[in-house]
Chains A and B, each alone.
Chain A
């Protein structure tokens, strides 16, 4: 199999690119392969391998390389992003219209099945037989697993089914092992696109973006500085390019002001390094939008600290909603066994030993919230809230609105009617903030403190526990 050999030989593809933009130069690995090799790889006269599976992390150039080859060599191809294909019909439609024009695609029935597609493809390809291999490129192929279970195995050997010179190229971020169906299937050719290495490829690729008014060397050194900061958290080429573009103007500032020359790398580094660190905490996490970041760079003098997204964590809630949320939190993180102790006035004597079971002594915060039934929530709510509250419909509607606001989450779908179960999905800090503004009653704070004590490992220092409990007694 000539093609097989050729394709496995591809370690690196560099297309010399007189006619394409500068980005289409892509380095994948060290070895080289020139255009002629690829030409021979896709020999139109021969049937090619039915399916190829290419995988590698995000932004390692999978689709770019494949699409550049297709474009460069003007091969007939259909490129489909599987995210878009909410039904398999859309996929068929796109493939057919790419190969045989929209008229052919219009012939598909309303909800086309795989056999409709195959039939139509056969019919069309017999009218216009392939002079070259046709390529179907499926980006984000992992989505195909959620579609019809027979679709993936069928596409893998589409060549046999339609009796045409067609190759299916699957692109994915995850490995082939996660695709293989239980029933087994045709094994495609596997290719791995490894991550870019820091030293060579990333710097080289990023340096292609260099600004026309500065020398490439300067830009390369800028990229080196940038990678020094960001490489530990981010290897996504796209993201790095984005960050590089965003911060370059700041890097050039001393040059424009005439404070430094291009050779003063150290000075430039000193200038940009804290800025990049800040960028890592804000723009990179999208706490601050890139437009805001640029604006901030423009009017740096004001030194306004941008309010980041997560800074506005506070939520105004109606009075009883706050209590409901607090009750939900207590129900979620305290063991149900302890309720009697915390919320009943006459709970009897506390036994020192084995008050908490062994497994309960591990921090509940590490274990995450536990589901609780509505009854328990209401019971705790009524013992926590300080005034008499009628069980009105609005109280219950508040529970459902807390669920829609995603502050509570409903769990389990089997017994929704009779005893719905909930989980509290807010953090301790949030609850503390809420209870601080609600708490006219000290009792509640104590309860929270107590549940904290229990949740943390401090349990063994039983004295603090008992002082908390005795506080409770006093109230």
Chain B
């Protein structure tokens, strides 16, 4: 009887390992702890594995709403230095039966953010190979922000143009009134073919070097 009990004790993990290794319903998991946390990285050991198995059990519980899932239902194998391994989930009612891949995938997808935060990792650094991460919904705006900025700018420019045109119009009106009232004084202003000199505003003129009394020409 003792031999039988001993056989059972040694056989069950072996059987469990076989279930895990041979299974097609398993998922490969990969953790990149050092990449994510750098100097604050924790050591991967048995306790961390224990935590992992309990989070997956928790995910299965939430998904199937059965409180019977336990940590013994989560089997792990192919542990490597990379910190990657394969896990399978067995049914709580029948430990020889495995939960199909699709069920496990659904459970993990729904609770990914809880599993991530348990390990201080993200979707990039805690990978379930074969389960794509659910991306965050894009931010939708009621009014596009660019339209708001556009509206402000075009409003300012429109005001600028209207102001300019109005000031031009009022200047012209004032000039017309002045011209009507002061037409006798026009003859006093010298208009020289509308060239640069009239733009000088009444100065004496511009010194033109070509006509200067340059000494080097007059000395003999």
Bound together: no
CB within 8 Å of A: which residues of B?
A: none
CB within 8 Å of B: which residues of A?
A: none
